Every structure is written in structure tokens, then in C-alpha cells.
Amino acid sequence: MKFPNEDRPSVTLITEYFYPEEASTAQLLTSLATGLQGDFDVSVITGRPNYHAGDQTESVPAQETHEGVSIERLPATRLDKDTLAYRVINWVTFCLLVFWRLAWSREEDEVVLVLSNPPVLPLAAWAAKRVCGFSYAYLIYDMYPDMPVGLGFLDEDSTVARAWERLIRMVYRDADRIVVLGGSMERRLTDKMSHDPQFDPGKIEIIPNWEDGSFIFPLPKSENSFVQEQGLDETFTLLYSGNIGRFHELRTAIDAIGRLEERDRDDIEFVVIGEGARKEEHQRYVERRGIRNVRFLP
């Protein structure tokens, strides 16, 4: 990808979640933006905090600078995202505002990095590029409509799935760069687009997610304050930490713990840390099954 201003390239990140939110996407993109700041003029277009319950009332400035990164927060709706209809409204209002911002208020030397979430966001970048011709890179965390189709939430032959597939193929085709998280995602994308002569598979880059090894590192249980506080020092602990959303399948692991308990294996515990639309559903299931060694933490 070529930058119009090679001396001090300008990059704009488009993401629904960013600092000061604590969602993993927000943390990764904040880390990326501040890391790029040394060599690029980095700006971020994002929404207002809306990831956790209670975020809707959090007051944050519409514009601010964080560690040298210019942040612009668009006034999209912040309805309860655990209700699917409200979540879709949030997506649509955010993406319409992103399109308006990119198509009519962008800088001439701007290169855009757009995420796959929310699912309609890349369409805003694609449409804006069609209007004014800037470059964009597409960072794929989740492939749509592949994921909801694969999980049975959407019929592959439905009108929605077919229309969505046609639109996302245009996003893939017109992106200047595509970043995927691993080889399996690269292969799936290459196979999907293999019949499109206008798609260049050479523009796909594999960049896995990362973590700060000086901050996240293994400790003996005896030195781990979290383990001691939660009384996990005597058990083998399986940990899931993250979003407990509609597409996150935890039932298999929960059932496995239940079967181990039936075999008197009380030395293994499954700890689930996070929030999301299906958390209460899983909690009720554990209670109904009488499974003792599954614990939910905020």
C-alpha cells in the first residue's frame, strides 16, 4: 500500500471500540494506534463507550488526544446491545456516521484501516472509497456472513446471506490490503475469492493478535494473587476470559465439566470471566444441571 505522504504518513483507524473501553478489541487497537504513533500521524474514528452495561451513561469528550493519538467519537446510538434489534440500530447509526465522515470530511492523504466489527462497518469504508477514492486496509477479526451461517444463526441460501455475501466480496476485492489473524483464515478467504479475477490474493497479510509479554506472563500459583483470592490453588483451572456473546459456544465445556463431576473429578474447575448476551443463559443452565465446578466472574 502506498501512502500519499511518505514523509509522515497519515493513518485513520475505524473501530467501534477504543480507549478507554476495556474490551479486547479496544485494548488491541489502542495498543496498535499508540505503537504506530512514532512513525505515523494516527487518528481514530470510534463510537462512545457502549461495551459493558452502564457504559451508556459514561461521559467522554467527543474529541481528545491519548498518548499522541487523536480520537474522534461519533454520536451513534448507545442502546442496549444485548437486544439484537437495538444492537443493529447501533451498528447502522455508527456506520452511517462513519461513511459521512470519510466521504465528506476526510484528509487528502488519509489511509484508512477498518475492522470487520461491527459487520456492516467495512461496507461504510468501501462505499466511501467509491465516492472519493482513498486507500483502505481491512482487518478481519470475524468473517461474515461465514460465521453466523456456520453456527446456524443464518441460512446460507437466505436472501440476507446471499446479499451479504455479494457485498462483502466487493469489500474484499476493493481493499488495498487485507489483514487476517492466521493461515486458516487466509486459506478460507483465498478459496472464497478464487473465482474473482479482480481479486489479488497477494494483498493478504497474516498478523496474529499480540500481547505485551512484560505485562502478561505465567506465574506459579503460589505467587498469583488472583488464584489465591479465588481459591483456585488446589484445582486444575480451565479459563475462558472474554465476551460471552451469541456466537460464543461454552455449552460443550460446561457439559464436559458436568461429566467429570459424575466421575468424581472435583479437582478440575471451569472459570468464565466476562459479560455478554448469553451469560445469564449459561448461568441458568449450570444451575439447572447442578454443576458445581463452573464459576462465572464479572
Between CA 287 and CA 285 the distance in angstroms is 5
Which three cell numbers, joined as nine digits, stand for 269?
474447575
Q: Do residues 228 and 264 touch, judged by C-beta distance below 8 A? A: no
Q: Which of the four pLDDT bands, split at 50, 70 and 90, describes residue 56?
A: low
Please state the pTM of the whole predicted model: 0.84
pLDDT for res 159: 97
- Parse the chain into domains and list their residue ranges: 10-206, 221-297
54 has a pLDDT exceeding 60 = no
Write down the mean pLDDT value for the chain: 91
Which three cell numbers, joined as nine digits, stand for 208?
496474529
What is the CB neighbour count within 10 angstroms for residue 209?
11
Q: Per CATH, which fold does 221-297 belong to?
A: Rossmann fold (3.40.50)
CATH of 10-206, one of 3.90.1150.10, 3.40.50.2000, 1.10.3720.10, 3.30.200.20: 3.40.50.2000
Q: Give the angle 267-273-274 at the CA atoms, nearest 5°.
A: 160
288 has a pLDDT exceeding 60 = yes
Q: At what angle do helices 121-132 and 159-174 cross, to 10 degrees?
A: 50
Phi–psi pair at 182, nearest 5 degrees: -170, 175
Which three cell numbers, joined as nine digits, stand for 52?
459493558
pLDDT single digits (tens) 224-278: 999 999 999 989 999 999 889 888 889 999 999 999 999 999 999 999 999 888 9
Q: Do residues 9 and 41 touch, judged by C-beta distance below 8 A? A: yes
pLDDT single digits (tens) 152-210: 889 999 999 999 999 999 999 999 999 999 999 999 999 999 999 999 999 999 999 98
